[in-house]
């Protein structure tokens, strides 16, 4: 049995809790959820709009994937968490879809939640396969 590899990515946002950025096993990459934080976590620096937050989250995911030699094109599944599902779903979706080719969109689940770290409105985690 292959043991998992626990990756902390230099230049990626600092975790807001005790977890690894990526856990890898047999070429599968399991990324921790990302919120719209900068490299040093500061809840006051999280952008206000859902569109800005979604762009920042996707950029953070791309940065973490890049740290293990992968990219968004290697994502096979995503989970999206929204604190105001009805108000933010369509706006988040418009930004999210711009990061993937129309014929290469990952499987996805989107759910409404009661809260996220730092007052974030969106958090996304992904599963990818090493190229």
Q: Which domains does the chain have, with CATH numbers?
A: 5-129 (3.30.1330.40)
pLDDT at 40 over 90: no
**Chain centroid offset of residue 95 CA:** 13
Residues 41-67 have a mean pLDDT of: 92
pLDDT band at 16 (very low <50, low <70, confident <90, very high): confident
What is the enclosing helix (H) or strand (E) of 124? strand 122-129
Give me the chain's average pLDDT, please. 95
What's the CA gap between 30 and 4, in Å, rounded?
10
Q: What is the pTM of this model?
A: 0.94
């Amino acid at each position: 049995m292959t043991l998992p590899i626990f990756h902390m990515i230099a230049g990626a946002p600092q975790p807001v809790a005790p977890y690894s950025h990526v856990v890898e096993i047999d070429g599968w990459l399991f990324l921790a959820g990302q919120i719209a934080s900068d490299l040093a976590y500061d809840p006051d620096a999280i952008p206000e709009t859902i569109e800005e937050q979604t762009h920042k989250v996707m950029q953070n995911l791309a940065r973490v994937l890049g740290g293990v030699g992968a990219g968004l094109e290697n994502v096979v599944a995503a989970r999206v968490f929204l604190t105001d599902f009805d108000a933010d779903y369509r706006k988040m979706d418009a930004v999210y879809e711009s990061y993937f080719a129309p014929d290469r969109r990952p499987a996805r689940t989107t759910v409404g939640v009661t809260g996220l770290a730092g007052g974030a409105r969106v958090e996304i985690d992904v599963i990818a396969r090493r190229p």
